[in-house]
Structure 1
Amino acid sequence: MDWLERTAKLRQWSRSGTRAPHKPLLLLYALGRFQRDAEGELRYSAVEEDLKQLLAEYGPANRTTPAYPFHHLAGDGVWEVRTDRGPGSPGSGVRELRASGATGRLAPDLRAALRRDPSLLGRMARVLLDLHFPPSLHGELSEAVGLEPEPAATGPLGAARRQRDRRMRELVLTAYEYRCAFCGYDGRIGAMPVGLEAAHVRWWSFGGPDDVENGLCLCSLHHKLFDKGVLGVGDGHRILVSQRFTGHSPAAREQVIALAGRPLVGPQPGVSAIAPSHRAWHVSQVFHGSPRPATAV
């Protein structure tokens, strides 16, 4: 059985690029727990808060109960659910899962495959990360679920997928004249820019192209906050700051909250700005909550 292909083809609700990372997040969490305790089961009532936190941090703005993937992942052949009455899930309701003592764990055939080939776990994690999350979040998400995914390619499955255009970084940084589009940071060591990155507005894993109309030159801090949904780009190419973000230090106020309503820095004249469709995707699928009002100057 090709577990990498099965991992890549988890059945998810999707429409016009809508993010639905609920099953991938549960599977990543289960792989992390398997790595620490290959025989353990995950009782829904005990892991519900962990799963809620993962969905809140790495899922879309519209909240979904973790009961949904806990029940439905079993249909993909990688997960099984049992209750006090025996095999099988009682349903996708929170009350049913709690009351029945529902537990879940990786499917028996998958557990056996992971014991035979321990490297499979890291390769499965890499597929899930590559398909559902931007690279800026891979490290912290892996840490959040207790995983250290393999950095190597995933083999034929990975080779068959769309390849990134390595020229994008230089094109985007040039378009924005090597300045962060949010704060104007332009640090260098000698002639080399440092701490500047090319961010995808519509994530590459969701069909975002490797071109300037889908790119922003951002400093490392603002790239991470952009991919976490703290920051966004609204109409008129003005910066959005989520009302859910809180920070009381001068640094948080100056580097994040004060950005609300500011126009982007760049791109330079003659270069295409972010395409409206990519901005709209990020606002609907990544940005969290409502934007703060513009900060008075």
Structure 2
Amino acid sequence: MDWAERAAELRQWSRGGVRAPHKPLLLLYALGRFQEDTDGELAYSAVEEDLKRLLAEYGPPRPTTPAYPFHHLVGDGVWEVRSDRGDGSPGTGVRELRATHAAGRLVPELRVALRREPSLLGRMARVLLDANFPPSLHGELCEAVGLELEPAEATRLTAVRRQRDRRMRELVLTAYEHRCAFCGYDGRIGSVPVGLEAAHVRWWAFDGPDDVDNGLCLCALHHKLFDKGVLGVGDQHRILVSQRFVGHGGAARAQVTELSGRPLLGPQPGTAPVAAPHRAWHLTQVFQGDPRPAAAAW
């Protein structure tokens, strides 16, 4: 099997669209570290905090531990672990991994393949990103794990991906009359919208359809905050703001906290609003914590 295809087929706990990106995040992190040191091992005690931060920022809203992927990724044939007890992971617990000085790295065959074919690393990274995260997070996630990808490495594996509907962006922007559904931004250069994007409510990577009722027209800022779980859409299609968001400046209040409780702007009459199942998926799998009280009566 091609290594990129193997990355696309990591075994993840999944039921009803639940996000479980633990293994992809660890593998992305390992690929980033491989770029720095092709032979180095990752001692669990040394990388635990890095993995915690990745899981907290890009993982599911529910609590999780970096010990889980460190142990379980071994079963996918791309990762190996050694400890004071010898080859193999000593267990799934944080204490076991620390106490036995467990360390992991990419399996020898994969390291050889990555040295022989440098473009493989980029292909694997792109597959992992596409299969588990929305495009709005790809760039910052690469920075977070230390990955440097060349533009030529954006090649996608059509054999393991369904095709996107390229018409979705225009259909969603038209439905929302080319303005951000959260703040009303409607900037243009001439007749061309600038800074407006079609956001998937249920992520495309998790079977979110390229349909208008799974889309929102959002400015670049609010698209990013929506995909990071700072913003959500609740009952009566009102905007939700996470209590975990902290911003004291006037811009943070105006652009984020004061949105709480406002109704979405759009879509225009005759167009389907965001479907309830897609809103529910986003609230359980992406939105961070509990929503703030409405900022004002609307």
The equivalent of 2:192 in structure 1 is 192
Partner deviation per Cα, 1:213-272 (whole Å, 9 max, x = no partner): 000000000000000000000011000100000000000011000000110000001110
Alpha-carbon distance in structure 1 between the residues aligned to 2:148 and 2:261:
38
The equivalent of 2:275 in structure 1 is 275
The equivalent of 2:116 in structure 1 is 116
The equivalent of 1:256 in structure 2 is 256
Alpha-carbon distance in structure 2 between the residues aligned to 1:4 and 1:287:
30
Report 1:209-248 matches (<5 A).
209-248=209-248
Report 1:1-297 matches (<5 A).
1-151=1-151, 152=153, 154=155, 157-296=157-296
Alpha-carbon distance in structure 1 between the residues aligned to 2:4 and 2:40:
23
Residues matched between the structures, number: 296
- Check whether the contact 1:123–1:149 (CA below 8 A) recurs between aligned residues: no
Alpha-carbon distance in structure 2 between the residues aligned to 1:150 and 1:279:
35
SS at match of 1:240: strand
TM-score by length of 1: 0.97
Partner deviation per Cα, 1:24-43 (whole Å, 9 max, x = no partner): 00000000000001111100
Alpha-carbon distance in structure 1 between the residues aligned to 2:220 and 2:6:
34
Deviation at 1:21, TM superposition (A): 0.2
Deviation at 1:154, TM superposition (A): 4.1
SS at match of 1:104: strand
Instruction: Label 1:145 to 1:153 Cα distance change in 2 as closer, same or farther (>3 A).
Output: closer
- Check whether the contact 2:5–2:160 (CA below 8 A) recurs between aligned residues: no
Alpha-carbon distance in structure 1 between the residues aligned to 2:191 and 2:234:
33
The code of the aligned residue for 1:5 comes to E
Alpha-carbon distance in structure 1 between the residues aligned to 2:88 and 2:21:
23
Partner deviation per Cα, 1:146-185 (whole Å, 9 max, x = no partner): 1123545546x32452111111111000000011000011
- Check whether the contact 1:79–1:105 (CA below 8 A) recurs between aligned residues: yes
Q: Which structure 1 segments of 5+ residues have no match?
A: none
- Check whether the contact 1:168–1:211 (CA below 8 A) recurs between aligned residues: yes
The code of the aligned residue for 1:127 comes to V
- Check whether the contact 1:199–1:217 (CA below 8 A) recurs between aligned residues: yes
Alpha-carbon distance in structure 1 between the residues aligned to 2:158 and 2:121:
15
Q: Which structure 2 segments of 5+ residues have no match?
A: none
- Check whether the contact 2:60–2:285 (CA below 8 A) recurs between aligned residues: yes
Identity across the alignment (%): 80
Alpha-carbon distance in structure 2 between the residues aligned to 1:2 and 1:212:
35
